[in-house]
Chains A and B, each alone.
Chain A
Amino acid sequence: MNSPVLPDRKDKWRKRFKKPFKLRVLGSTQPARHPQDGWKNADPYPMGSWARGAFRALILAVCPPSPAPHLPDVVDRIELHVRRLMRYMHPLAARALWIAIFILDWAPRFAFFSRHRLQGLTAEEGSLFLSRLGATRLHLLRTLLTGIRGAILSAYFDQDEVHRALGYAPLPFISERRELRAQLIDQAARKRPA
């Protein structure tokens, strides 16, 4: 007698978490950010849809909500940046970050904060949970959280729209300083005896 065919739980499970995330490459929209010196950005670190779902939930929980500048594609931008960054890390460090995403995704359940994982919480609930987790005495957990939070916030506060909202305008300032330096060097050269 043939044994009954059991449904492939793994496939079903994967299907459930498969979300249609499409990653946009920013190079084309903001060419000025990328220096024209032949440098090629690495491909994003590979991540399955489940890990991406968890990571995007983390991004939403960490990023400042309104009235901070709302960028329609902020999650895409930060995801792309952090996954690129992971390529430059030591493979073990990148893997640790990847594992940290999983740990943080499940942490609300393990810490009896909610019966949902982080990706099932609202951004506000997720943010509240991460704040509580930040006060843990477990060095390792705190270090993992600090690392991920730092990478996400760093990418958020590196956006031109956010710079404008903060009153930070580095590009015109640097251009002005370059010109000023050229003038000073020129003046000094003229003063120097021939």
Chain B
Amino acid sequence: MILSFDDYADEDRFDADIVVVGTGAGGGVAGTELAEAGYDVLFVEEGAYHQTDSFNPYTTESVPRLYRDASATLIFGTPPIAYVEGRCVGGSTVINGGMAYRTPERVLAEWQKLTGSPDLGPKAMEPLFESVEARVHASHQLDMSIGEDNRIMMRGAEKMGWHYTQNRRNQETCVGANNCSLGCPTGAKQSTLVSYLPRAFENGARCLTELRVERLIIEGGRCVGVLASAIDPLTRKARRHIEVRGRAVIIACGAVQTPFLLKRHRLGRPSGQLGKNFLCHPNAKVLAVYPDEVEGWKGVSQNTQIREFHEEGILMAENFVAPSILAAYLPVHGRAAWELMQRYNQMVLSGVLVEDSSSGTVSRSVFGMPVVRYDITPLDHARFLKGIKLLSQMHFAMGAEFVILPFFNQHVAHSVDELSRIDDLQRDPGSLELFTPHLMGTARMGSRPEDSVVNLSGELWDLPGCYVADASLFPTAIGVNPQITIMALATRIAQRLELVRVAA
């Protein structure tokens, strides 16, 4: 049963065993596992329910439907970083690139050491990864789905002598419609919308959509529900007030909204870590224009990843998008924008992703808005410059006419020689233009209340009954796309809750 704004009374109340706030990689997975274990699960989702056949390539229609705050979200710092989050049933899994990478073993070993517990170590996580990967069909792409832009990336890596891999993606018979960021219109991408949530609904779970959770209900020192407001679809104002009660509440709103909600109640006090340790894998785009037709929109996005520099914390990948998304990041407008966009079919859009070497914070502003702060370090800056130069060199080696660079004061390079000016011109990290879809680590998991926000079962140290199950849990950056890690941790939290019931 899925309810929306029109279904609610002005003041309404719902009850369940478990209330899950969010339906993405964390909430969708945890809720489904619990529904299958026999719990009465109630999902609460701020976005609306959109099915596969409603997804289309128009950003003017899709961005308001699928993205939080119409993607007008920014991390403040040097440089400012644009970020995106999903806001729909399925959350960010509906709009992500569908990468299915496990947490690297070295990261899990570090988590094991940090927490002093084998629970987050490689051995304990292995069965969780296997379970999640089976559910989302983590597999390589069919050869026929790979477009020319990805083939250029692979041939380019070979020419440069670099190691690359073809990504495993959460997809089933993906034929490369290249609409991942606006919702998969074929249903091949196994977002929680098509992989997990249908199983939850088959097992009696319910979903309240278009409900924004404003605060937790805390009674007798225990979390017993949430208070939410239904959002009027026409005015976007909170109008109806809904109370949702359960025996346990799982918060899975992502690494920005989760601490934003919990901070309202001044939680996370034992360690003072709530909202800290914000990580975001910032990335920079390099747009190469080739002399021949590439038609990057015909074929899967992000099939290939260049991992030659992974040990240094640098990844490179292709990520082609619709002209309306590409145009939003152009450094030019007017006539120059048209002249550039006329070459749309000759473009290869690629990116450099850098593993965080520092962390930021998420706080509540007095205006009731989350404020995210994050500065890149000199090390990150150096890695970006290196990655951008190397990626551009690869494009030139493959015959690109010119590349559009992610610097506000140096937009174009026409040759490898011009790339050598990057070191002279780009001494200020503020001139970088960055973007991120990976937000992590603001309610870190641990085995001691002095240095973590939640315990190894995901429960807040200072609020029994309240669990976190999203990317906020990460103790450190993972250096790869976080979807599978979030799903694995959410599965663990659901299993722990089930154990509590069995023990009871």
B70 at the interface (CB under 8 A from A): yes
CB neighbors of B among A151-194 (8 A): 151-158, 162-163, 165-168, 170-171, 173-174, 177-178, 180-181, 184-185, 188
* Measured CA separation A147–B176 after assembly (Å): 30
B357 at the interface (CB under 8 A from A): no
* Measured CA separation A97–B252 after assembly (Å): 29
B233 close to A157 (CB less than 8 A): no
* Measured CA separation A180–B144 after assembly (Å): 11
* Contact A93 to B69, CB < 8 A, known contacts A151-B328, A153-B330: yes
In the complex, what residues of B have CB within 8 A of residue A177's CB?
175-177, 185-186
* Contact A170 to B74, CB < 8 A, known contacts A40-B234, A90-B69, A181-B186: no
In the complex, what residues of A have CB within 8 A of residue B323's CB?
157-158, 162-163, 166, 168
Nearest Cβ distance between residue A151 and chain B, in whole angstroms? Answer: 7
Nearest Cβ distance between residue A78 and chain B, in whole angstroms? Answer: 9
Contact of A158 among B55, B60, B175, B185 (CB under 8 A): B60
Nearest Cβ distance between residue B330 and chain A, in whole angstroms? Answer: 6
A88 close to B328 (CB less than 8 A): no
B179 at the interface (CB under 8 A from A): yes
B101 at the interface (CB under 8 A from A): no
Best-surrounded residue of A35, A41, A165 (most CB of chain B within 10 A): A35
A130 close to B333 (CB less than 8 A): yes
Interface hit among A8-16, A17-25, A79-87, A111-119? A79-87
CB neighbors of B among A79-131 (8 A): 81, 84-90, 92-94, 97, 123-124, 127, 130-131
3 nearest A-B residue pairs (beta carbon):
A64-B338, A150-B328, A35-B54
* Measured CA separation A144–B80 after assembly (Å): 11
A135 close to B324 (CB less than 8 A): no
| Interface bin, chain A | 35 or more
In the complex, what residues of A have CB within 8 A of residue B235's CB?
42-43, 87
In the complex, what residues of B have CB within 8 A of residue A36's CB?
54
* Contact A88 to B236, CB < 8 A, known contacts A139-B79, A153-B327, A185-B173: yes
A57 at the interface (CB under 8 A from B): no
* Measured CA separation A85–B328 after assembly (Å): 14
* Measured CA separation A153–B60 after assembly (Å): 11
Contact of B70 among A35, A39, A88, A137 (CB under 8 A): A88
A154 close to B328 (CB less than 8 A): yes
Q: Which residue of the partner chain B has the closest CB to A95?
A: B367
Nearest Cβ distance between residue B192 and chain A, in whole angstroms? Answer: 18
A61 at the interface (CB under 8 A from B): yes
Contact indicator per residue, chain B 368-409, by CB within 8 Å of chain A (1) or not (0):
010000000000000000000000000000000000000011
* Measured CA separation A188–B142 after assembly (Å): 13
Q: Which residue of the partner chain A has the closest CB to B55?
A: A35
* Contact A181 to B338, CB < 8 A, known contacts A85-B63, A163-B323: no
* Measured CA separation A127–B234 after assembly (Å): 34
Nearest Cβ distance between residue B161 and chain A, in whole angstroms? Answer: 34
In the complex, what residues of B have CB within 8 A of residue A127's CB?
333-335
CB neighbors of A among B54-84 (8 A): 54-61, 63-65, 69-70, 72-74, 78-80
In the complex, what residues of B have CB within 8 A of residue A174's CB?
56-57, 177, 179, 185-186
CB neighbors of A among B158-216 (8 A): 173-177, 179, 185-188
CB neighbors of A among B302-349 (8 A): 322-338, 341-342, 344-345
In the complex, what residues of B have CB within 8 A of residue A34's CB?
61
A166 close to B79 (CB less than 8 A): no
In the complex, what residues of A have CB within 8 A of residue B72's CB?
85, 89-90, 93-94, 97, 147
* Measured CA separation A88–B212 after assembly (Å): 13
B478 at the interface (CB under 8 A from A): no
A63 close to B177 (CB less than 8 A): no
B48 at the interface (CB under 8 A from A): yes
Number of A-B contacts (CB under 8 A): 189
What are 7 pairs between A and B in contact, CB < 8 Å?
A35-B56, A85-B70, A92-B367, A147-B72, A165-B342, A174-B57, A184-B142
Nearest Cβ distance between residue B85 and chain A, in whole angstroms? Answer: 12
B50 at the interface (CB under 8 A from A): yes
A65 close to B335 (CB less than 8 A): yes
B430 at the interface (CB under 8 A from A): yes
A64 close to B173 (CB less than 8 A): no
Nearest Cβ distance between residue A98 and chain B, in whole angstroms? Answer: 12
* Measured CA separation A151–B67 after assembly (Å): 14
B334 close to A42 (CB less than 8 A): no
Q: Which residue of the partner chain B has the closest CB to A32?
A: B56
Q: Which residue of the partner chain B has the closest CB to A173?
A: B298
CB neighbors of A among B210-238 (8 A): 233-236
Contact of A154 among B55, B324, B332 (CB under 8 A): B324
B54 close to A154 (CB less than 8 A): no
B324 close to A139 (CB less than 8 A): no
B332 close to A131 (CB less than 8 A): yes
In the complex, what residues of B have CB within 8 A of residue A85's CB?
63-64, 70, 72
Nearest Cβ distance between residue B409 and chain A, in whole angstroms? Answer: 7
A170 close to B297 (CB less than 8 A): yes
B420 at the interface (CB under 8 A from A): no
* Contact A42 to B179, CB < 8 A, known contacts A154-B328, A166-B344: no
* Contact A42 to B369, CB < 8 A, known contacts A35-B56, A149-B333, A167-B345: no
A157 close to B327 (CB less than 8 A): yes
B117 at the interface (CB under 8 A from A): no
B51 at the interface (CB under 8 A from A): yes
Nearest Cβ distance between residue B17 and chain A, in whole angstroms? Answer: 29
A37 close to B57 (CB less than 8 A): no
Q: Which residue of the partner chain B has the closest CB to A155?
A: B60
* Measured CA separation A185–B56 after assembly (Å): 22
